[in-house]
Chain A
Amino acid sequence: MLTSLFRVYLWVRAFRAPQPAGQASAPGVPSEPAR
């Protein structure tokens, strides 16, 4: 049971929610506002 719990936890980590659109990783979007 404990190892099954740990397996599910690691799988939850593996399928982490993707970053919301419009964040720094989106192509063409600067990570900091232009000065």
Chain B
Amino acid sequence: MNDAAVLAVIVAVRGLVPLLIFRWNLAGALLAIAADGSDAIIQDVLGAEPLRGCYHEFDKVFDTYYLTIELGVALRWGDPVARWMLAGLFALRLLGIAVFELTGAREVILFAPNVFENYYLVLAGLRSIRPGYRLRGWGEAVLWLAAVTPPKVLQEYVMHYREAQTWHFVRDEIFTPWN
């Protein structure tokens, strides 16, 4: 496939899949994450690299797109504590991305990790198990924050600060360790 066709496939996947979040708050978000990880795989499988040289910018735009949909959905959950927590985490992430794009300072990403996503997933999961679930106060909100922050900081450090190729590692060490 040529670059334009592969780019069209990637844009279609990353543009359309997050719309499922409106209907299925949790499953849609999980599929949006899968779509997020699919662009490197699609390029590998279809044998073209239209995102060569601009992957991070492309990825950030579509990441922000689906995270904005998640925030919009969460703001309608009727949970005031979750609303403030998620809005704050989203704003921190957005600010971090903006500062990073303006300055190029990669360490900014470490101070503005995408904890919003993990927090949203936990709350969407709780609401899937118990419809109408609400955080019982800031104590519970902070406990969940403490539970979901460390793995995301580690992930940001390796993927975005050290710029390691996670997909290539997974492919080489987990999917095809015999190669």
User: Are A and B physically bound partners?
Assistant: no
